[in-house]
């Protein structure tokens, strides 16, 4: 759409063949829901089409589409952030009073069986982890997955989700303590 | 100085979690080790946390081996819709 040959151009007719899988993979690793990821990719293509006239050709076509998708993911993240989150977080420590910061009695780590390392690569274990992650509030699950499973750099996640590093560590900490408890109940002491 | 070294269990386990990603500072490691002297619960949490990290690592490797693709049916639907939108432009 740009006439200048030194600039990048858009060719919407080839978007699906060239970028659909890449964008879908990008989205699904962030939202962990293939139907939602599909919707986000579809919205991205339509948004791209709508704003094609604003494309200046400074970035490559794929980079430009990824930037649009990123905004969609952030919008989704903000939506779930405002809808729910805190109510589903189970606290592990006293939040105030003389005992502030101490373990809550019912949440203290229990002794795990000696066979805690049993069949560490079993499918059953993988599905237990998935189920425990799915029980986290969505924003916690998203940040945890990006940091721990997809192994993104802290800075990258903060930039992408517009959160501070200390906010990220609070989320990771709460997610991990909740996951530890869930795994304790459903795997290690099951 | 001693006040700065004293941390709560909540703070200790947060440092432990950062440590699982190699992102705790030298000072935080000192704070954590001093905390362990008086707190067996957090020491247990740390041992278990290391086991959890091993499992998460396995999950991460498994996840990287698996790339997500759209089905050809989905792509055809996308193509049709995009063509329609293009023709309206």
pLDDT digits 0-9 by tens, B26-79: 999 999 999 999 999 999 999 999 989 998 988 888 777 777 888 889 999 999
The residue assigned the tokens 């930037």 is A67
The residue assigned the tokens 């396995």 is B58
Residue in chain B closest to A145 (alpha carbons) equals B60
pLDDT at A87: 43
Which position has the higher pLDDT, A189 or B14?
Answer: B14
The residue assigned the tokens 């001693």 is B2
Q: Do A167 and B14 meet the contact criterion of CB atoms below 8 Å apart?
A: no
pLDDT at A2: 44
Residues of chain B with Cβ-Cβ distance to A41 below 8 Å are 70, 78
User: How far does chain B reach from its first CA to its final CA, in angstroms?
Assistant: 68
pLDDT at A85: 46
What is the dihedral sign for C-alpha B55, A181, A112, A107?
Answer: positive
In CATH, the number for domain A86-188 is 1.10.10.10
pLDDT, averaged in runs of 10, over chain A (190 residues): 64 92 89 90 94 89 93 82 58 87 88 64 81 88 89 88 91 93 85
In CATH, the number for domain A12-83 is 1.10.1740
Where, residue-wise, is CATH 1.10.1740 in chain A?
Answer: 12-83
Residues of chain A with Cβ-Cβ distance to B54 below 8 Å are 120
Q: Is A102 helix (H, G, I), strand (E, B) or coil?
A: coil
Residues of chain A with Cβ-Cβ distance to B13 below 8 Å are 92, 173, 177
pLDDT at A117: 58
Token readout for A184 is 């304790």
φ, ψ at A3 (rounded to 5°): -90, -15
Chain centre to alpha carbon of residue B80 = 39
Phi-psi region of A108 (alpha: psi -120 to 50; beta: other; left: phi over 0): beta
The CA distances from residue A123 to A32, A146, A154, B35, B69, in Å, are: 18, 22, 29, 37, 22
Where, residue-wise, is CATH 1.10.10.10 in chain A?
Answer: 86-188
Domain segments of chain B: what residues?
Answer: 2-88
The answer to whether the Cβ–Cβ distance between A172 and B17 falls below 8 Å is: yes
Asked casually if ipTM beats, i.e. exceeds, 0.85, the reply is no
The answer to whether the Cβ–Cβ distance between A170 and B60 falls below 8 Å is: no
The CA distances from residue B32 to A26, A151, A162, in Å, are: 37, 24, 29
Residue B16 has pLDDT above 50, yes or no: yes
Interface check for B41 against chain A (CB to CB < 8 A): the answer is yes
Q: Which residue of A41, A49, A111 is in closest CB contact with B85?
A: A49
The answer to whether the Cβ–Cβ distance between B52 and A183 falls below 8 Å is: yes
3-state secondary structure chain B: CHHHHCCCHHHHHHHHHHHHCCCCCHHHHHHHHHHHHHCHHHHHHHHHHHHHHHHHHHHHHHHHCCCCCCCHHHHHHHHHHHHHHHHHC
The CA distances from residue B62 to A134, A181, B21, B58, B75, in Å, are: 17, 23, 18, 6, 26
């Amino acid at each position: 759409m740009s006439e200048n040959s030194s600039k990048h151009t858009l060719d919407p007719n080839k978007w699906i063949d060239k970028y659909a899988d890449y964008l879908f993979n990008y989205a699904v690793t962030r939202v962990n829901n293939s139907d939602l990821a599909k919707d986000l990719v579809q919205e991205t293509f339509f948004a791209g089409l709508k704003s094609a006239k604003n494309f200046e050709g400074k970035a490559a076509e794929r980079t430009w589409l990824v930037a649009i998708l990123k905004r969609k993911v952030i919008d989704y993240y903000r939506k779930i952030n405002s809808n729910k989150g805190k109510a589903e977080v189970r606290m592990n420590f006293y939040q105030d009073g003389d005992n502030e910061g101490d373990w809550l009695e019912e949440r203290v780590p229990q002794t795990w069986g000696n066979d805690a390392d049993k069949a560490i690569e079993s499918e059953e274990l993988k599905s237990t982890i998935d189920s425990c992650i799915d029980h986290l509030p969505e924003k916690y699950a998203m940040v945890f997955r990006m940091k721990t499973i997809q192994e993104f750099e802290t800075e990258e996640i903060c930039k992408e989700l517009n959160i501070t590093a200390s906010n990220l560590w609070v989320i990771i900490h709460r997610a991990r303590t909740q996951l530890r408890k869930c795994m304790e109940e459903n795997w290690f002491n099951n | 100085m001693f006040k700065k070294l004293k941390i709560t269990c909540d703070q200790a386990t947060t440092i432990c979690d950062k440590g699982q990603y190699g992102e705790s500072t030298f000072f935080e490691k000192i704070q954590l080790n001093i905390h362990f002297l008086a707190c067996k619960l957090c020491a247990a949490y740390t041992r278990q946390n290391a086991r959890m990290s091993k499992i998460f690592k396995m999950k991460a490797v498994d996840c990287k081996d698996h790339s997500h693709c759209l089905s050809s049916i989905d792509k055809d639907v996308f193509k049709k819709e995009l063509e329609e939108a293009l023709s309206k432009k």
